[in-house]
Structure 1
């Protein structure tokens, strides 16, 4: 009987921590996104690979071409006010399908390209 109780707690803990440990975005990232949106309702943010990015500035084509960048991915979902949680691939302003390019020399910078316009984003550190 004693062995069954120990076995139950071991299995329960493995399952519980496996589920909790497999979340893709940390609560700190979620809190940071919510705080930035609360400060500015028009925040230009996106979450990609568990990293939150915030708009820095718009750049012209010549400036974008001077950056050694590689395709990073694309926005897959739009965040709206009814969506409580930010998910990877979700953006507040950029529409789904927007291509993202990551700087090779400075990986904290990501650029979006939408209809010939380029925008620079910087990763937002947690904490």
Structure 2
């Protein structure tokens, strides 16, 4: 194989690898958005149960936060970054409310999770 044909083969392979990376990122995004959605549902359930088990709400918030860290590390998409930032801010505010013995406002978390789901859902 000549240097020119090797360079041509590499030039053809790079977009294919990039496409695979884009597909993997999209799948990671969709899976993480689904997990976050489930965690938000768990959070809503824990909060609707009242102050009976604030530890359950804290666990749901911790799971959302962990999923956000994973997604933020895997994506360089600006829209995903904004949704992750909004979700992180909502989670931190909810954690502070729980720490103060208050019922957290989950509206910002729900809105950001919904936005993330829209961004990560293909089509």
Query: TM-score higher than 0.5 here?
Result: no
Q: Determine which structure has the larger strand proportion and give its number.
A: 1
Query: TM-score under structure 2 normalisation?
Result: 0.38
When normalised by structure 1's length, the TM-score is 0.37
Structure 1 or 2: more helix by fraction:
2
